[in-house]
Structure 1
């Protein structure tokens, strides 16, 4: 694909407010917001400093790795078509990096140590320089160690050259994240020692006597498989405080509106390990963008956002009252809370936490209909069901009946009494730029051993000697992601957008991250149009750190035959 075609492929995104121009004395909507805003940097020369910082979370002091002294780091606001030079200085006593998540750029600027560059040594400055060829809502974060968990992340908005197809009057940037007062290496050690360490919502004998949750027969079956149906998230509200723009629930971060306005919220999930369910009780949302690219507007009352995903929504509050902004952890062990109100100082009461969800046999990749009498342990480990998977100690189970779950309601939201966003609701606003049939297909299994907290692709954890996944420049490939574990995995491919196969051919949603439900599979097509070496990994930070990572190579780099 030519540079021109690649740029056109990724058009779509963020905006001049309501299609308004800067001329005529009119300011863009983002400049008219009266809510507390993130510090914002723009222009062709930007300077960032990575250093330790003290933070206060709900009034309690803590430690962070901060960017320019703040968590989240500054909002970086760019313009499609500009060039940018970002100077990053490392004041830590360890290496650091910045990955520009979802941005299309030369692979040497992608910011993954050991893959695209050597990293930034203590005391050194690295200059990222690249053309801005797209628009939309994106973000940036460390790809070094576990610094992302400590606060090393921030948001990016890229305004488009042209008009915005979803006009609005005001906008708010919302960065969701999770914070622990424990050092992330301590969190990792506890997970390795006891994978369910942070799960304080396990089933009890009292719950069984009261007729709650599973029946006795179901509990026996799950116990025989050594599986816990309450194990939805590895790290939970027992240690996490859930943040909205760096603020805990007690801080009452407030986004303002005037009744009758169209208000755009740009959501980024910068959480290390938390899948959030987002809603404004009493208001409907129109989803207009997914992962920075336009989609046909779809009205919902709740959406699930996994780490690394972004969603842009528009709300139209009519009443002169305060609403709660709720970002509830998928296991319902806690929530981030903010206020959406017509005046500062107002506070909306958040609803109580909902009942925590339980995993089912479907989440295990096991539809037990017609499987009576089958030995569960054998069903979970039969290697015939997963050719190509190495049966290492890191493979605890293989889903014998994994099914395409792209149309399922998000995990835990299948029984709510309002409309929730499903991947099948997403339809690209612009036609897909490459509709060639794939020349080949590939199946990649997401494997793990929850008891040992080991994670991998195809049973083989990442190591310096692991073979990368090779592609030819500009080839068209269909990838089937099969989740053989009982945990969801948001899978991110650097340097590319792919088309999620969701029943809308020609207008498949183009994303850079897709959340694969437990026991399920999701497929996507992509064009390998970015030469270089690119990271491919689960965006649950501790899963990536434990081995669910690989490198995608696209060749040739310097031209030549395909």
Structure 2
């Protein structure tokens, strides 16, 4: 890998990012706006012995301040940078008044070090320190987060970058970590309480008689029989969430710098609690080179869908001296995360509007050909429309999967299974550009 960031540019942009925008210590160096990218001399957690402290910190976004749970006082947490083949000891101290933990997402390690309370260890009690110790057996982009009490939704997460033991097959001149997350000023326990009271509490985009999406009587019976609606796409939406990139809301507009002509590696992580994001950079193609820490055959796309906990590394090569908007649109189109890639701090590009919200069809429920998707013989598929009009879909019909034992762990069996690995994702079928799918 070659680096093309000179010291003068580094110092100048760093000063602009911190002094010009008044960033507080809550923002780690790698996540500060105006970042020239990850550099060896940047403050980060590395080496064989690392100390992490879990605590409470106020967090401000969009002009409002809320309560966050952080590691080493920052949201997102500090970047941990390791090297394949090293041994690492991470001493994690819990200063909260409740149990906590750290799970090393995607890392291959002894199960006692996995950090899942009640499964691999008892958790970290208030005031105690637990030392995770393991060999680093892989390279790539990963992340770490709490597995205790919905703390992850309050900011308890951070990125991990592991450099390969040998030469990196991915060539680049500059790299940025891009962490997507969802933030609410409503406590996550209250969010869960509201969802238990009403599963569609946060769904403010339900179908109506006046939105051009009215359903037939048959469709209403079918969706009602499943106790669902075609707009059931995201349980928690932009009605309460602010979508963040590197801890910055859309108004704060995190900015990562580049020089025209550079190969820029974007290490994307979806640290959201609930939100699937559709990611694109209008005017700039992305070449996917790594998925969930594994190098892949390069695939060039215009958009990709990143689900909760997934990571993608992409290479972009901006050739013009202008800004580009990085968009992370929630899958239900109720909001977006927004950032900027630019040669200089202060530059901005047009922010695209939210696209039309998608709705589910029977094909999305693995029942293609039913109620508006084409004619279907319901009785032949075991769907009983008799009685009170509710539809028995036979969602646990053992005849559909003779080899599956119908134990309590089996909630449903798709009556009409189909291979959709080549689909781009809900709402991305007709966007007019190349979208990553699982057959790429």
TM-score by length of 1: 0.67
CA-CA distance at 1:57 after TM superposition: 1.2
Is 1:108 matched up with 2:112? yes
What is the root-mean-square deviation in Å for CA atoms of aligned residues? 2.4
CA-CA distance at 1:411 after TM superposition: 2.1
Separation in 2, partners of 1:216, 1:355: 24
| 1:339 alignment partner in structure 2 | 340
Separation in 2, partners of 1:52, 1:185: 16
Is 1:404 matched up with 2:408? no
Separation in 2, partners of 1:214, 1:290: 39
Contact between 1:302 and 1:421, CA under 8 Å: does it hold in 2? yes
| 2:377 alignment partner in structure 1 | 371
| 2:230 alignment partner in structure 1 | 229
Separation in 2, partners of 1:84, 1:92: 24
| 1:494 alignment partner in structure 2 | none
Q: 2:405 aligns with which of 349, 369, 388?
A: 388
| 1:37 alignment partner in structure 2 | 30
| 2:314 alignment partner in structure 1 | 313
Separation in 2, partners of 1:364, 1:347: 40
Separation in 2, partners of 1:54, 1:75: 20
Separation in 1, partners of 2:220, 2:327: 32
Aligned residue for 1:78, secondary structure, equals: strand
Aligned residue for 1:48, secondary structure, equals: strand
Higher strand share: 1
Task: Provide, for residues 538-562 of structure 1, a one-character-per-residue CA deviation record: whole Å limited to 9, x for no partner.
Answer: xxxxxxxxxxxxxxxxxxxxxxxxx
CA-CA distance at 1:267 after TM superposition: 0.3
CA-CA distance at 1:382 after TM superposition: 4.4
| 2:26 alignment partner in structure 1 | none
Separation in 1, partners of 2:193, 2:417: 31
CA-CA distance at 1:349 after TM superposition: 2.7
Contact between 1:175 and 1:267, CA under 8 Å: does it hold in 2? yes
CA-CA distance at 1:217 after TM superposition: 5.2
CA-CA distance at 1:216 after TM superposition: 6.2
| 1:199 alignment partner in structure 2 | 203
Deviation beyond 4 Å, 4+ runs, structure 1? 30-36, 213-217
Task: Provide, for residues 264-303 of structure 1, a one-character-per-residue CA deviation record: whole Å limited to 9, x for no partner.
Answer: 1000000000000000011100000000110111000000
| 1:284 alignment partner in structure 2 | 285
Contiguous gaps of at least 5 residues in structure 1:
1-16, 426-562
Counterpart mapping for 1:9-88 below 5 A: 17-18=1-2, 37-38=30-31, 40-88=44-92
| 2:36 alignment partner in structure 1 | none
| 2:151 alignment partner in structure 1 | 147
CA-CA distance at 1:160 after TM superposition: 1.0
Separation in 1, partners of 2:178, 2:334: 21
Separation in 1, partners of 2:377, 2:174: 54
Is 1:93 matched up with 2:97? yes
Task: Provide, for residues 350-402 of structure 1, a one-character-per-residue CA deviation record: whole Å limited to 9, x for no partner.
Answer: 1110111110111111122533454362224343235423469x94x542112
Separation in 1, partners of 2:356, 2:214: 10
Q: Structure 1 residues 380, 333: CA separation in 2 closer, same or farther (over 3 Å shift)?
A: farther
Separation in 2, partners of 1:32, 1:152: 31
Q: Which moved more, 1:264-273 or 1:377-386?
A: 377-386
CA-CA distance at 1:32 after TM superposition: 12
Task: Provide, for residues 108-154 of structure 1, a one-character-per-residue CA deviation record: whole Å limited to 9, x for no partner.
Answer: 11111111111100000011111111110000001112111111100
Contiguous gaps of at least 5 residues in structure 2:
18-28, 32-42, 370-374, 386-390
Contact between 1:383 and 1:391, CA under 8 Å: does it hold in 2? no
Q: Structure 1 residues 287, 226: CA separation in 2 closer, same or farther (over 3 Å shift)?
A: same
Task: Provide, for residues 460-518 of structure 1, a one-character-per-residue CA deviation record: whole Å limited to 9, x for no partner.
Answer: xxxxxxxxxxxxxxxxxxxxxxxxxxxxxxxxxxxxxxxxxxxxxxxxxxxxxxxxxxx
CA-CA distance at 1:219 after TM superposition: 4.1
Contact between 1:287 and 1:313, CA under 8 Å: does it hold in 2? yes
Count, aligned residues:
398
| 2:263 alignment partner in structure 1 | 262
| 2:124 alignment partner in structure 1 | 120
Task: Provide, for residues 173-226 of structure 1, a one-character-per-residue CA deviation record: whole Å limited to 9, x for no partner.
Answer: 01110011111110001111100100000011111xxx3465565345434543
